[in-house]
Amino acid sequence: MGRLGWRILVAFLAVTFVPMAVMGSAAWVQARGVIEEYLAQDTEQKVRLWATDLDAFLAQQRSILDALPLGNDSSETEGMLDKAVAQTPPLEALLLMDFDGSLIASSPRPDKIDPWVRQACTSLIADPTRVMTHGGDDHTHQVVIATAPEGTNGALCALVSFTLHQDMLAERARSVAGATPYIVDRNGDVVCHAYDEAEHHVGRGQFLGGLPATVAERGVIWSGRIRDKHGVRYAAYAPAKTLPWGIWVEIPDDVATASLQPMLRRAGLYALAFGGVVTIFAFVASRSLVRPLNRVAAAAQGMAGGRPGQTVLIEGADEVADLARQFNRMSLALADSYRELDDRVARRTRELAAARDFSDQLIDTMHERILVLSLERVVVRANNAARAAWGDDIVGLSWDALVPRLGADPDQVSCPTDAVLDEGRPRNADGSAPAHARTRPPLRTRSLMSRATPFPARTAPSAR
């Protein structure tokens, strides 16, 4: 395929792929926005679920407290409390207190319990509308809850730790979505954590700051895509209903889009396959378009090489077929013209040959001895009288070799001969023009000049 074919192929591919690339880029930008919105909403759904689990975890601890079979016997009650603390890891301490704030039973022993826990229990008994309380920054991962079990004359308080719940939440978020969740309070401080020390994480009590702190302070559901020095991440926040806390989740961009990678790879493979099919189709189409033009070009080269009458195969009824049809007409017309010209040249050649034969026969019938000399002064023709007088080998002799055979004075013969050859007019031996002589233009045949050359005779020179 020549340069024209490659140009057609490139033009076809450009017309096909450039609009597709523009449309594909625009579609990708729009699809990217849709994907980002979908991933943000998906992250929001996850954080809503985990915030609900946070409330459910606290409700589960309350149900455990309500289900404890407590009595009025303090020793029996302490044994029951020790068993509950041992079997329930989130419960770090249990206190049974009367409504006056006196301690009835506890697990562990009272001296092992931080004073703030007992103070928190007393404040909850005094204000039953409070759901929970905790002891400040040093104990942000711990809360105190209170219930009023049946069959007792007081309130049962529990010191609940969210560290285990954070551990389970982190494991679930990591396995399901590759996310990093944080339980944060309304100030944006991390309530608790349970990560391996080798992993990047924010420690307990550390202030997240920035957007997380702003969102946590507002206490509303939020989701979006953030970019900072740690990279691009999808994040979401959802507040708990029964706690003044919330869940902040971050998912790296590459992790969030991991589920879309197979689809993107398939789309890329489909695009490559489509591009290959289009390229093959364009190659075949360009060849089919260029093939008739190549035939016309080859036929034109043949005509330029001296072979008129070249024709090409006509296929279809399009513009290229019209071009081939017109080329065939032109080529055949040119061949007919050449053929007619050759016939005319051949006919004229035959006429000239016949005239030459006639002139040769006419000269041979003359009694005068006639020689025809070339411009190089070589004998190229002699009639019968000349050959009989000077020999049959006279043709081909030079003038210098011929003069001795003429039996004349070389100077007397050469001068008028030179004048005849130079001027094309007959001369006498003395150089004068004879009265009866008529001049004729020299006859040219290829590279020879034929002239009737006078020479001395028995009586007087003659010229033809």
Where do the domains of the chain lie? 35-256, 263-339, 366-453
The predicted pLDDT at position 275 comes to 81
Cis peptide before 108 (omega within 30 of 0): yes
Which class in CATH covers the domain with range 35-256? alpha beta
What fold characterizes domain 366-453? Beta-Lactamase (3.30.450)
The predicted pLDDT at position 298 comes to 77
441: DSSP letter: P
**Is 421 within 8 Å of 373 (Cβ atoms)?**
yes
Each residue's pLDDT expressed in tens, for the chain with a length of 464 residues: 666 667 777 777 787 778 777 887 777 777 777 777 888 888 888 888 888 888 888 888 888 888 887 766 667 788 888 888 888 888 888 888 888 878 888 888 888 888 888 888 888 888 777 766 655 545 556 788 888 877 667 788 888 887 777 777 777 777 777 788 888 888 877 776 544 444 444 444 555 777 888 888 888 899 888 887 778 888 889 998 887 888 888 888 877 777 777 877 888 888 888 888 888 877 777 777 777 777 777 778 777 777 777 777 777 777 777 877 888 888 888 888 888 888 899 999 998 888 888 888 888 888 888 888 887 888 888 888 888 888 888 888 887 787 787 776 666 666 566 666 666 566 555 556 554 444 444 444 333 333 334 444 433 333 33
3-state secondary structure string, 84-139?
Answer: HHHHCCCEEEEEEEECCCCEEEEECCHHHCCHHHHHHHHHHHHCCCCCCECCCHHH
The predicted pLDDT at position 444 comes to 40
The one-letter code for the residue type at 273 is A
**Is 229 within 8 Å of 205 (Cβ atoms)?**
no
- And the tokens for 193? 């954590």
Express each pLDDT in 299-328 by its tens digit: 787 777 777 777 777 777 777 778 778 888
- What value does the CA radius of gyration of the chain take, rounded to a whole number of Å? 61
Local structure of 196: helix, strand or coil: coil
The predicted pLDDT at position 276 comes to 83
Give the strands of the sheet with 452-453, arranged side by side: 379-382, 371-373, 452-453
Region of 443 (left: φ > 0; alpha: ψ -120 to 50; beta: rest) is: beta
Cα gap 92→128, rounded to integer Å: 22
Q: What share of the chain is helix, strand, coil (3-state, %, to 5)?
A: 55, 15, 30
Express each pLDDT in 199-251 by its tens digit: 444 444 555 777 888 888 888 899 888 887 778 888 889 998 887 888 888 88
Residue from 374, 359, 369, 363 nearest 421 by CA: 374
Are 35-256 and 366-453 the same fold in CATH?
yes
Residue from 148, 69, 158 nearest 118 by CA: 158
The predicted pLDDT at position 453 comes to 42
Residue from 407, 454, 451 nearest 430 by CA: 454
Cα gap 274→108, rounded to integer Å: 72
Cα gap 80→98, rounded to integer Å: 17
Give the distance between the most distant pair of CA atoms in the chain.
186
**Is 133 within 8 Å of 118 (Cβ atoms)?**
no
Q: Does the pTM of the predicted model rise above 0.75? A: no
